[in-house]
Amino acid sequence: MASRIRRWGAASLLALLFSATWIWAQDTSAPAVLIADEIEVTRDRVLIARGNVEAFQDNIRLTATEVRYDPETSQLSIVGPITIEDGEGIVVLADQAELSRDLQDGLLTGARLVLEDQLQLASVQMNRVGGRYTQLYKTVVTSCRICEEDPNPPLWQIRAKRVIHDSETRQLYFDQAQFRVLGVPIFYLPSLRLPDPTVERASGFLIPSLEQSSLLGFGIKVPYFITLGEQRDLTLTPYISPKTRTLEFRYRQAFERGDVEFVGAVSDDDLKSGPRGYLFGAGAFDLRNDFVLEFDIELTSDDSYLLDYDYSDKDVLDSELRLSRTRRDEYFGLSYIKFKSLREDDEDGNESEPTDVIDTIYQRRLFPSVIGGELRLTALGHTHFRGWDNPFSTSENGMSDELDLVRVTADAQWLKTYQMGGLQVQTTLGMAADTFYIAEEDEPNETTGGLAPRAAVTLRYPMTRTQNGVTQLIEPLAQLGWVGGNNLDVPNEESTRVEFDEGDLLSLSRFPAPDRRERGWTLVYGAKWSRYAADGWSGNLTFGQVLRSESQPDFTKSSGLAGTRSDLLLAGQFELNNGIFIGGRTIIDSDFDIAKAELRGFWSNDRLDLGGSYVWVTEDPAENLPSPISEFILDGAYQLDRHWNASFGWRYDLEANRAARAGGELSYSNECVTIAFSVFRRFTSSTSVEPSTNLGLSVSLQGFSANTGEQTQVRSCGKQAK
């Protein structure tokens, strides 16, 4: 006679759990908990659970309509719809099943395997073996959403006679696989292995891309990713076209205290004779005692290679090795930089400009209790020379070990701020000692140096007002400064480009390096205005001007600092609450002519990202600018709808009245595929670089890569709500 238990309340539920545990507790591998609307235990000890059945075993959860367990055969007979979840991103759906008591082995019919909510494998029959292998027969694999009312096939699918999923290695093995697009067979593979979506790193082919270049012709890139352990990997990308045979590579390695990455390529093409290539690398390591070691490598075989293959638009390469340490009141830095110019106007092959630079700096802050304030002690060292050319270069330039310049600077500065009611008074006293060693070809070596004492008093009177949640700040400011000493007769190779902006308005020397110093008396006046609002727009404005007792011969026209009266500096930025940001700065001379201006802005909302900038610099032969610079740059992205996105970039030379660069990309993305088409045009040309047009096409099938966590737009079944 059978006993029957129905789940009508808490007492019935406890009885149910007791009965299920009593029947199945004979084997520790059996499910620990069984819950159902109704349980029946027959005279021959067969347990039958009906209605909203849930079974739990370790991290496995099973739901079904009916479950029968026979202790004699240790088998579960399950009536669906059946759902089995293992807690690791694997879900099995089936109509009927015959499984072992631990759900690790058995046969399922009308089954589907869903991996990481991305990839689904539908089959007529499924076998589970040892809890590790799942075999599916007559299988259709896709990550596209399938709607029952839609008679059309999915956008893409893989049909296979058999598919085996290894849950331990997380790999999918296909037998007699056929790839179809919209139901049309495209190609056939007798066997195929792919990682499942739970794999974050696995060796194998990545997304191929098609390239069309006016210089290199039509080509294809097929990257292959190689795992070299948990901390290293290598990506090799053959690039084949009628005019080039190229192998691109990327190597990455993570260490316990740092990481490195190298990218590069080697080419044999029809554009130039001989092998061509480039190598970029970077890395950083945390050393003992808070030291950080960083390096950056940039090498190329010739001046036009990077532009020909669209790897980079840099015109000066800089490789650097740097050791630094930053603490609360102390900083140390030591760096070696190797420069390589790719510019066409560097006709002498990098011999006129320094190619090797060594810099060192040590700075310490002290807070003496006797005199108060802050004491800053700084030691600087700098050397540059025209040295060994790029070892990867094919140019004929040889060795040139001539040492050009060594500079040593020692600096001490004391700062203290006094508060007099609403007036802030900051005093500055300092002394710098500069020593130069200069070596020039066909000239005797020279050593020179000098002292540069300095003093300044800066006055600020900040005034604030808050009304209706809006805070405004107006701060008039003035500075009286003096720098003594005489200008030294040393070549100007560090301070050839001077910028006048709000950051150095109150500086006693606006040269970028200590090889030049402003001398004499200066008077700076200006003001700052700011507006802050939690709801509404915010902004700030700064204006200022520098008056000096004597002009500085090394300030150029375009710097805005030439003469005894500088140009008027005006800078500001505004941020509106609708996603609009505008910022810029300009310097205006006494005739209200603009010597230099920069304007930038962007607008961002849920569907649009739009940014642009404009730059104007007047002609200045002293800075090697025979004609003005006037450029406009615009770039943006717009989400056309849930699946379509468009982006573009445009750079226009207003002085030459022609575009310099232009390009765009149109992409479509849903739950099963991402397609991107791009076009790029470079209009600039020279004797070493020709204009070029590049077209690109890439197709990515979703479901065979790790889930990035980014939201994907899934196509809707039936009518979509507007």
Mean pLDDT of 571-588: 92
**pLDDT for 399:** 34
pLDDT tens digits, residue range 191-228? 888 888 877 777 887 778 888 888 899 999 999 999 99
Chain centroid to Cα 659, Å, comes to: 27
Residues 567 and 611 placed together within one structural domain of the fold: yes
The answer as to whether 421 is a domain residue is no
Residue 274 has pLDDT above 60, yes or no: yes
What span, in angstroms and rounded, lies between the C-alpha atoms of 113 and 123?
8
Residues 681 and 571 placed together within one structural domain of the fold: no
Cis ω before 691 (30° cut-off from 0): no
Mean pLDDT of 303-311: 91
Residue 630 has pLDDT above 80, yes or no: yes
Residues 638 and 539 placed together within one structural domain of the fold: no
Residues 641 and 575 placed together within one structural domain of the fold: no
pLDDT tens digits, residue range 129-179? 887 888 999 999 988 877 666 677 888 889 999 999 988 888 889 999 998
The answer as to whether 343 is a domain residue is no
The domain boundary, picked from 195, 213, 233, lies at 195
pLDDT tens digits, residue range 556-570? 888 999 989 999 999
For 10, list phi and psi in degrees, rounded to 5.
-65, -40
Q: Is 643 helix (H, G, I), strand (E, B) or coil?
A: coil
The answer as to whether 304 is a domain residue is no
The domain boundary, picked from 139, 172, 195, lies at 195
Give the residue from 361, 395, 353 showing the smallest Cα distance to 378: 361
Residues 15 and 127 placed together within one structural domain of the fold: yes
Angle at 632 between CA 631 and CA 637, to 5 degrees: 150
Contact 219, 207 (CB under 8 A): no
Tokens 């869903």, located at residue: 114
Average pLDDT, the chain: 85
Residue 623 has pLDDT above 60, yes or no: yes
Mean pLDDT of 328-356: 80
CA dist 369 → 328, 376, 415, 416 (Å)? 18, 14, 13, 12
Q: What is the DSSP string of 442-511?
A: TS--EEEEEEEEEEEEEEE--EEEEETTEEEEEEEEEEEEEE-S-------SS-SS----TTSTT-S--S
Give the residue from 588, 482, 573 showing the smallest Cα distance to 530: 573
Residues 161 and 12 placed together within one structural domain of the fold: yes
Of 187 and 259, which is predicted with more confidence?
Answer: 259
pLDDT tens digits, residue range 432-474? 999 999 887 767 788 999 999 999 999 999 999 998 889 999 9
The domain boundary, picked from 625, 654, 671, lies at 625
The answer as to whether 103 is a domain residue is yes
How many domains does the chain contain in total?
A: 3
Residue 41 has pLDDT above 90, yes or no: no
The answer as to whether 63 is a domain residue is yes
The answer as to whether 38 is a domain residue is yes
Residue 659 has pLDDT above 70, yes or no: yes
Burial of 631 (0-12, 13-18, 19+ CB in 10 A): middle
Contact 61, 82 (CB under 8 A): no
User: pLDDT band at 84, cuts 50/70/90?
Assistant: confident
pTM reported for the whole predicted model? 0.78
What span, in angstroms and rounded, lies between the C-alpha atoms of 345 and 358?
25
Residues 177 and 30 placed together within one structural domain of the fold: yes
Pairing assessment for the beta strands 470-483 and 291-300 based on DSSP bridges: unpaired
**pLDDT for 395:** 38
Q: Which residues have CB under 8 Å from 16's CB, separation 6+?
A: 5, 7, 34, 35, 36, 39
What span, in angstroms and rounded, lies between the C-alpha atoms of 615 and 629?
7
**pLDDT for 88:** 73
Residues 690 and 544 placed together within one structural domain of the fold: no
Residue 4 has pLDDT above 80, yes or no: no
**pLDDT for 393:** 38
Percent of the chain with pLDDT over 90: 46
User: pLDDT band at 715, cuts 50/70/90?
Assistant: low
**pLDDT for 406:** 92
**pLDDT for 22:** 38
- Count of alpha carbons within 13 angstroms of residue 472, beta-carbon side: 8
At position 441, the amino acid (one-letter code) is E
For 559, list phi and psi in degrees, rounded to 5.
-70, -25
The answer as to whether 206 is a domain residue is no
pLDDT tens digits, residue range 6-27? 433 333 343 344 344 434 444 4
Percent of the chain with pLDDT over 70: 88
- 251-260, 384-393, 674-683: least confident range: 384-393
Contact 305, 276 (CB under 8 A): yes
Contact 359, 337 (CB under 8 A): yes
The answer as to whether 85 is a domain residue is yes
Instruction: Give the number of other CB atoms < 10 A from CB of residue 43.
Output: 8
For 116, list phi and psi in degrees, rounded to 5.
55, 30
**pLDDT for 325:** 97
User: pLDDT band at 3, cuts 50/70/90?
Assistant: very low
Where is mean pLDDT largest: 90-94, 185-189, 476-480?
476-480
Residues 23 and 153 placed together within one structural domain of the fold: yes
Instruction: Give the number of other CB atoms < 10 A from CB of residue 617.
Output: 19
Of 640 and 9, which is predicted with more confidence?
Answer: 640
Residues 468 and 601 placed together within one structural domain of the fold: yes
Contact 531, 573 (CB under 8 A): no
Residue 651 has pLDDT above 70, yes or no: yes
Give the residue from 529, 535, 527, 528 showing the smallest Cα distance to 470: 535
Residue 330 has pLDDT above 60, yes or no: yes
Domain residue limits at 470: 450-625
Q: How far apart are the first and last CA of the chain?
A: 60
What span, in angstroms and rounded, lies between the C-alpha atoms of 451 and 431?
7
What span, in angstroms and rounded, lies between the C-alpha atoms of 714 and 82?
24
Element (H, E) at 16: helix 10-24
Contact 320, 339 (CB under 8 A): no
Mean pLDDT of 353-372: 92
Residues 91 and 147 placed together within one structural domain of the fold: yes
Residues 610 and 558 placed together within one structural domain of the fold: yes
